Structure 1
Amino acid sequence: MVLSGEMDKEGGTVSKPPLLTGPENYDYWKARMMVFLKSIDSRTWKAVVHGWEIPYVVDKDGKTTNVVKSIKDYSKEEDELALGNSKALNAIFNGVDINMFRLVKRSLVAKDAWEILRKAHEGPSKVKLSKLQMLSTNFENLCMKEEETVHDFHMNVLEFANNFDALGENISEEKLASKILRSLPKRFDMKVTAIEEAQDLASIQVDELIGSLQTYELSINQRKDKKNKSLAFTSNARDEQETGDQESDESLSEAMVLLGKQFNKLMKRMDKRTRPNVPSIRFDTNKQPNNLRRPRSDEKPNQPRGVLCHECEGHGHIRAECPTFLKGQKKSLAVTWSDDDDSEEEGESESAKLVYALTVTMKSAKL
Structure 2
Amino acid sequence: MQENLFSQDDDIWYVITDGPMKILKFNTAIAISGGEPQMVEKPRAEWSTEDKKKSNLDNVAKDIMYKTLDKNMFRNIKTCSTAKEIWEKLTQLREGNDQTKENKLTVAIQKFDNAKMKAGETMAEFDERFSNIVCELISLGKIYTNREISLKVMQALSRE
Q: TM-score, normalised by structure 1?
A: 0.33
Give the equivalent residue in structure 2 for 1:182.
155
Residue 102 of structure 1 and its aligned partner are, at CA, apart by 2.8
Unaligned stretches of 5+ in structure 1?
Answer: 1-40, 188-367
Cα separation, 2, equivalents of 1:91 and 1:69: 28
Specify which of 92, 114, 120 is matched with residue 141 of structure 1. 114
Contact 1:48/1:114 (<8 A) preserved: no
Evaluate the alpha carbon distance shift between residue 78 and residue 143 of structure 1 in structure 2; reply closer, same or farther with a 3 A threshold: farther
Cα separation, 2, equivalents of 1:131 and 1:113: 23
Specify which of 32, 41, 55 is matched with residue 22 of structure 2. 55
Evaluate the alpha carbon distance shift between residue 184 and residue 110 of structure 1 in structure 2; reply closer, same or farther with a 3 A threshold: same
1:76-97 CA deviation, whole Å, 9 max, x = no partner?
48845854x5443222212223
Give the equivalent residue in structure 2 for 1:73.
47
Residue 126 of structure 1 and its aligned partner are, at CA, apart by 1.4
Contact 1:143/1:183 (<8 A) preserved: yes
Give the equivalent residue in structure 1 for 2:137.
164
Cα separation, 2, equivalents of 1:124 and 1:107: 19
Q: TM-score, normalised by structure 2?
A: 0.66
Q: What letter is aligned with 1:73? A: W
Contact 2:137/2:143 (<8 A) preserved: yes
Give the equivalent residue in structure 1 for 2:75.
102
1:205-252 CA deviation, whole Å, 9 max, x = no partner?
xxxxxxxxxxxxxxxxxxxxxxxxxxxxxxxxxxxxxxxxxxxxxxxx
Please say which structure displays the higher CA radius of gyration.
Answer: 1
Contact 1:143/1:184 (<8 A) preserved: yes
Unaligned stretches of 5+ in structure 2?
Answer: 1-7, 31-36
Specify which of 56, 60, 63 is matched with residue 90 of structure 1. 63
Q: What letter is aligned with 2:123? A: V
Q: What letter is aligned with 1:70? A: R
Structure 1 vs Structure 2 CA RMSD? 3.4
Q: Find out whether 1:112 has 2:85 as its counterpart.
A: yes
Residue 137 of structure 1 and its aligned partner are, at CA, apart by 1.1
Higher RCO (CA 8 Å, separation ≥ 6 residues): 2
Residue 147 of structure 1 and its aligned partner are, at CA, apart by 1.2
Q: What letter is aligned with 1:105? A: K
Contact 1:144/1:184 (<8 A) preserved: yes
Evaluate the alpha carbon distance shift between residue 146 and residue 90 of structure 1 in structure 2; reply closer, same or farther with a 3 A threshold: same
Size of the alignment, in residue pairs?
A: 144
1:226-280 CA deviation, whole Å, 9 max, x = no partner?
xxxxxxxxxxxxxxxxxxxxxxxxxxxxxxxxxxxxxxxxxxxxxxxxxxxxxxx
